[in-house]
Amino acid sequence: MGNSQPEEIRLSRSLGLTEITLSGIGIILGAGIYALIGTAAAGAGNAVWLAFAISAIVALFSALSYAELSSMFPKAGAEYEYTTAAVGGYIAFIVGWLIIFSGIIGAATVALGFGGYFAGLFGTGRVIAAIGLIALLTLILIAGIKESAAVAGLFTLIEAVGLILIIIAGIPRLGNVNYLEMPFGITGVFTAAALVFFAYQGFEEMVKFSEETREPEKTVPKALMIALAVCTLLYILVCISAVSVVGWEGLAGSEAPFAEVATVAWGPWGADVLSVIALFATANTVLLMLLAASRISYGMARSGSLPGPLARVHVTRRTPYLAILVAAIGAVLFLFAGDIGFVANVTNFTIFVTFMIVNLSVILLRYRSPDQKRPFLVPGRIGRMPLLPLLGILTSVFLFLQLTPDIIAIGTLLVIIGGIIALFMGREGQDQASG
């Protein structure tokens, strides 16, 4: 009975361009800019906006590759499906493992950020608040994709209001500082760019909604481009406004940088307003990270690369409820993972590696499957060689090399663990096939 269910019950195709775009903006905006702008300003100075711009360019190259691949393989397994077609199941499993891991640990870290804001406002324990948030969001995710998208859309609008308030606060003070001041030179800007790439994490999660989207071949690539453009514009304007109000020193020296900006601009009540908005921003990121981690787990389980029960879909809600529960439990277990800057860079390691392989997949498939239908095609090529995916690989490698040795060591360990599990799962799959 359980084995046939994943084939009989499919995910619900309920999402259109608006829902996908708002969900994408919600994941991208999320907690990254709220939590990391202070740390980034400590390295990049008033040129922190440039760090975000550099990261946006790197993200754009890879987003175009995701758009092409998602139009070719509109499935919930996303990167796992792409890399399976291009480089085989072993590497694809490692990529899928890294993405699931980064989604779960990222959700845990941001949930702790929510707990910190919640504790500051209401005096509760940080970990208790984080566990409560994960439990509530798990119920929403199981309830249905339409319900999850509605909550994400509402929270996205609220967190966008917070960023717009920061922009408004800076308008009267534009020109107060030198926006190219780099206390540690261009090296500090590049290091900050590698860090704030976490703030762009999310556009790649949008492709995992493909099986729940109407006309995904056209809708998902279009939503990708719109979401990335909107978020990049907001980030740059927010950075310029924030340093205009308090300077890079003020941002770097604050644990709640946006609250600091709001306090200077409007007084204590401004800080309270931004703290409440930060609750919605962090909650939204946790919601969408858990959603994405559960969907790629579902896709990999359906293909036989993860245990079959993870591919079960709820009969009435039509959501992968077991995959959602496992992602949520994993996030609770990782609630003590560490500070957000450290975990953001571990997550960035997994993302940079993934982007290198995804961009390589576009190049390989152009040569191996030149006649396969591509509703979206990355522009620019010499012969069959697409140029922008090649730039995507080179820029991802460049930012990867800005990571510290300890981050690279931890990330490499994760890759090795994933490789060992892939070997085990490969034997399991062969045993099942022979049985």
Query: For residue range 201-222, what is the model confidence (pLDDT) as tens digits?
Result: 777 777 777 777 787 777 888 8
**pLDDT of 117 higher than 90:** no
**Is residue 35 situated within a structural domain?**
yes
* Long-range contacts of residues 262-265, Cβ cutoff 8 Å, at least 24 apart: 262/165, 262/166, 262/169, 264/169, 265/169
Q: What are residue 381's phi and psi, to 5 degrees?
A: -160, 160
Please report the pLDDT score of residue 127 as a whole number: 87
pLDDT at 81: 79
Give the E-state strand segments of 146-214 in sequence order. Answer: none
Asked if 359 and 396 touch (Cβ cutoff 8 Å), the reply is: yes
SS percent in the chain: helix, strand, coil, step 5:
80, 0, 20
Does some domain include residue 56?
A: yes
Residue corresponding to tokens 């966008």:
160
Residue 85 lies in a domain: yes
Q: Supply the pTM of this predicted model.
A: 0.78
Domain assignment of residue 147, yes or no: yes
In the predicted structure, residue 375 carries a pLDDT above the cut 80 = yes
Return the pLDDT at 8.
Answer: 52
C-alpha–C-alpha distance, residues 98 and 408, integer Å: 13
Are the C-beta atoms of 289 and 24 separated by less than 8 Å?
no
Give DSSP secondary structure letters for 289-330: HHHHHHHHHHHHHHTTSS-GGGG---TTT-S-HHHHHHHHHH
In the chain, % of residues over pLDDT 90: 30
Which pair of structure tokens corresponds to residue 224?
Answer: 């990708």
Q: How confident is the model at residue 46 (pLDDT cuts 50, 70, 90)?
A: very high
238-252 pLDDT, tens digit per residue, is 999 999 999 999 988
Q: Is residue 430 assigned to a domain?
A: no
Q: At 287, which CATH number? A: 1.20.1740.10
Tell me how many domains the chain contains. Answer: 1
> Cα 111 to chain center, whole Å?
14
Other CB atoms within 10 Å distance of the CB of residue 311:
24
Query: For residue 71, how many C-alpha atoms fall within 13 Å in the half-sphere facing its CB?
Result: 19
Q: How confident is the model at residue 426 (pLDDT cuts 50, 70, 90)?
A: low
* pLDDT at residue 71 tops 60: yes
What pLDDT does 315 receive?
86
Q: Which two tokens stand for residue 313?
A: 């879909």
pLDDT at 168: 94
Range of the domain at 194: 13-370+380-425
Contact 210, 75 (CB under 8 A): yes
35 near 343, Cβ under 8 Å? no
pLDDT of residue 132: 96
- Average pLDDT (259-264) is 88
Is 433 a domain residue? Answer: no
- The reply to whether 334 falls in a domain is yes
User: 15: helix, coil or strand?
Assistant: strand
